[in-house]
Each structure stands twice: as C-alpha cells, then as structure tokens.
Structure 1
Amino acid sequence: MLDAAERISGAQIHQRSHGCAEVVIAAHANGARLERLAQAGSAKAILPRIHDPRPEVVFLNTSGGLTGGDTLRYALRLGDGLCATATTQTAERAYASTTGAAQANVDLKVGRGGWLDWLPQETILFQSSNLKRRIVIDLAEDAGCLFLETVILGRHAMGETITSARLDDRREIRRAGRPIWIDPLRLDPDSLGRTTSPALLGPGRAFATLVLVAPGAADALGPLRATLTVPGVEAAATAFEGRLVLRVLARDGLPLRRQIARAVACLRPGPLPRVWQYQD
C-alpha cells in the first residue's frame, strides 16, 4: 500500500537495491586463507572448490540487474604472495532507468608479489539504461594482473537495437598508488547513433578490453595476435612498458565471447573460470 506521503504527493517511491560484498584473503603457512567475508544487501561472494591452488572468488548480484538509484560494490584484498581469480557468477544487466544512474564500484587490491585475474562476465546494457561504474585495481610495487571488461548492447538474439543508453565507465590500474593505466569510457544516445563513425563503435554492438600488466608483457604480443582469428571480430593488440592491451569489437556477443575465451587462455595458465557461461 502507498503510505500517506505518497498518497498526498501522488509520487510513487520505487524500491532500490543496495549491495556490498568484501573478501579478504591472507597468506597462511598452508597457503591462502579466507580472513574476511562480509556481505550486505544484494551483493554476495562465494569461493567454490576448484582443482587449482589459486583461490577463485565469484561475485554475484542477487537483485538480477541494476537500475537508477541502485548501488553495488565488490571489493577484494589479496595478501602478499597470493594469486587468485575473481569473476562474476553471470552477466551484469543494466535495465531502463527513469531516476538517474545506477552506481557500481569494484575495488581490488593485490599485495606484494601477488597476482589477480579479474575476469568478470559481460555487462549488458538495455534500452534507456544508465550506469555509472568505477573499477580500480591497486597493485603493490611488484604485483601483476590480467584485467577484462566486456560490454554488450542489448540482446542480439531478441532483435534489440540500443539507441538510448548511458554508460560512464572508468577503469584504472594503479601500482603502489600511482595510476599506470586509465581507460575512461562514455556512451550516450549521441554516440550510439553515430554508427558510421570508425572512431566510435561503428556497427559493433559488443566490445571488450583485455589488459595484461606484468614484466615482459610484450613477450605475449605475438602469441596473442595469433589467436585473433574468430570470424566476425575486429581486434587489435599492442604492448608497451610492461602492459599489453587488446581491444575487441563485434556485431554480436557470441563471436566476441569466443575471441575473448581464446585470448584469455593464451595469456592465463590453466582453465577458464568454471562459472563462465561460454567456453571456446
């Protein structure tokens, strides 16, 4: 039922979801140990049993998606000398909003000599969605990471064409507190409508960025480029000063996923995250 204030004003107050999940993994004499697991609201984190000494952290949003006024935060802290994989249980969905932006923040910290693979599943933007997101990986001086972000505009199989959506996405990797890679991305109805511009997305409706930060990252450039053979995908990779960056663009999410799976397998030893809903 509407309360008295709503009846008087005629305004309807929508329920919003708020979630925060934080995981701290510390070094122990017998290997990695879960030191802290805090969950609130719609955000959850699980650590499934896997056949790998590196722990795997799976974040999930039980609300099923994000819309205006929702807030979501994922945080992970890795102790010194630890290696881990962090991913999401499924694709994150940004739904239509009439009340401003949904807010999402991802805060990841890696201790000395550590390594993190941040390999979330894709973010799907629906018509009239509005998402503001900040992703920060804070590396210790000698730590490294593999970073992935994938965005898909609508559901291709449903014939959706996204002409009005907003995404304000800032991805940042720091080393000892100093930014070493900053990648801001902003989409709005104007940029989505300029499909003929090669400087924008053109006809592409699925795109991804993969970044490797490690000493000698350039050594992987040749093998990575050799994997860029999936039909229906445009991709380019470059390397500089301990960083390797891959950009991938496709008209549909399926070929993009296949290409990303091949690229990640090239840069990362061992199997892909078990929760990924696609394998090459």
Structure 2
Amino acid sequence: MGAMTLLAAPLPALQRSQGTADVALSGGAVRRLFTRGSAKAVCLPGEVVFLNTAGGLTGGDRLTYRLETDGPVTATTQTAERAYRANDGHARVTVDLSIDRGRLDWLPQETILFDRSALARHTRIALSPRAEVLALEAVVLGRAAMGETVTTLAFEDRREITRAGRPVLLEPLRLTPEALTGPATLRGARAFASVALVARGAEDALAAVRRVLDEPGVRGAASAFDGKLTARLTAADGWPLRRQIARLLAVLRPRPLPRVWQL
C-alpha cells in the first residue's frame, strides 16, 4: 500500500462582529433610532446610552455609533468597552456626533485594552457655531485586580472636534509597546485619560480644574486657551483614574454623572 497523503482542512473563517447604532434627537424627542448587529442605543430623558452586545472587540470587528441632536444631551456607553487579543487585523470603531445648539457631553466609560489587542478608533464631533462639547476618553491597560499585564498592543485613537466645519481640536494617538514605559509617554502607568471642554469661556474653569487634580495615585495637568480647556491624566490603575475623572466632571458640568456610571 502506498503512503497516504493527509491534506489539512482549511481553517474556518471566524465570525466577526458588526454593529451600527444611529440616533437623531429633535427637541429632546427621538426622531430616528436605527440599530443593526451588535450595536444598540437606549434613549433616556436627556441621555443616550450606546452599548455593544458582542461583549467586546477583536480583530476584524466593526462598530459605529452616531448621534445627531439639535439641543443639549449627554451621551455615554453602558459599560467599559473591551478590546481583546486580535489575531486578524484591527477592530475598528467610528463615533460620529453632531450638535446644533446647546452642549453635548460625550462621556463614554473607559476602554480596556488587553494584551495583544489591536484597536483603531476615530471620533468626530461636529459643532455648529452655537454649540459646545465636553468630551472624555479614558483607557485602561488590562485589569490590575486580575493580575493582567499588557506588553504588546496596537492602539490608534483619533479625536477631531470641528465648529462650522473648521477644526478647533485635534488629538491623534498611536500607542505601541515602546510607549508603555517611556519617560515622555506613559512611564509605567496602566491607565490614562483626556478631557476636553470646547465652549465659550472654557478657560475660566482652569483654576477650579487644577484645584481638584490631586487624587492619590493620579498624575494630571490642565491648560486652557481661546475657548478650549484640556486635561491629561495618568494613573497606576483604573479606579483612582475614574475617581479623578468624576471629580473633574463635577467641576465642568452642573449635572450628576450619567446614570449607568458606577463609583
């Protein structure tokens, strides 16, 4: 009997998560609510909550959140978003927010990046000449309580804020393994956040913001100029970072934290 040749069967294509949640508000009422795939949206009085029912992101996943409003609203996410180990390309998240008047508070809960994750996110916030925005982005590298460490990752995050089509704030970030310990980057921190207020007279809040940047275990700094205030935070863990963010938001907004936040 001749030698038998075994042919390896091709690996099955892995299922990828796809989702879109599109919300339009007019006069505080829901004018449009469209969801597809894993992305959902819950509309509460004065608040929109986006969520990803897939439970996290990995290579090849696609997630889109859109919000259009003609009045003030707070938008957030139902829980922390998780980017897991990716074996096939980046997960991609797109956030498009548009406000005609009043203020939009975009306050998503933190993004947790696990080891060997690959995530590319693009957030675009379009303001009319009479609109304002308070925008937060927070990132945690693994879960310290679970003994997780992150040594390899690919994270690209780009945030653009425009007013009447003209750029007023651009924040690009590219995080690679080399940036985790560098003295000019994270310097060993496991969590970081950026807060931006684009509003008339935003610089008037600078002194009050600096007074509350004293949460133990968190390093922070703030600056302001020409209707823009920005703060940068780094921390050894996600919980002190969240406490510092909560104190910062208490200065910058007159309302309580979003209903789904937990402290």
Shared fold by TM > 0.5? yes
State the SS of the aligned residue for 1:47.
Answer: strand
The aligned counterpart of 2:115 is: 127
The aligned counterpart of 2:129 is: 141
The aligned counterpart of 1:57 is: 48
The aligned counterpart of 1:45 is: 41
The aligned counterpart of 2:32 is: 36
The question of whether the paired residues in 2 share the 8 Å contact of 1:90 and 1:277 is answered with no
The aligned counterpart of 2:87 is: 98
Deviation of 1:189 (Å):
2.2
The aligned counterpart of 1:89 is: 78
Distance 2:176 2:207 in 1: 35
Q: 1:107 aligns with which of 85, 96, 120?
A: 96
**Aligned-pair identity (%):** 56
Q: Could you give the per-residue CA deviations for residues 23-68 of structure 1, whole angstroms, max 9, x where no partner exists?
A: 00012xxxx211000000000000135xxxxx10000000000001
Distance 2:12 2:178 in 1: 30
Deviation of 1:198 (Å):
2.2
State the SS of the aligned residue for 1:57.
Answer: strand
Q: Which amino acid counterpart does residue 22 of structure 1 have in structure 2? A: D
Distance 1:19 1:100 in 2: 17
CA RMSD of aligned residues (A): 1.1
Q: Which amino acid counterpart does residue 10 of structure 1 have in structure 2? A: P
Q: Could you give the per-residue CA deviations for residues 240-279 of structure 1, whole angstroms, max 9, x where no partner exists?
A: 110000000001111100000000111001111010122x
The aligned counterpart of 1:73 is: 64
Distance 2:77 2:168 in 1: 25
State the SS of the aligned residue for 1:198.
Answer: coil
State the SS of the aligned residue for 1:219.
Answer: helix
Q: Which amino acid counterpart does residue 59 of structure 2 have in structure 1? A: G
The aligned counterpart of 1:3 is: none
Alignment of 1:18 with 2:18, yes or no, is yes
Alignment of 1:261 with 2:246, yes or no, is yes
The aligned counterpart of 1:210 is: 195
The aligned counterpart of 1:184 is: 172
Q: TM-score, normalised by structure 1?
A: 0.90
The question of whether the paired residues in 2 share the 8 Å contact of 1:78 and 1:114 is answered with no
Unpaired runs of at least 5, structure 2 = 1-6
How many residues were matched structurally? 257
The aligned counterpart of 2:3 is: none
Distance 2:158 2:119 in 1: 11
Runs of 4+ in 1 over 4 A off after TM superposition: none
Alignment of 1:150 with 2:138, yes or no, is yes
Deviation of 1:210 (Å):
0.3
Distance 2:8 2:217 in 1: 56
Unpaired runs of at least 5, structure 1 = 1-6, 50-54
State the SS of the aligned residue for 2:246.
Answer: helix
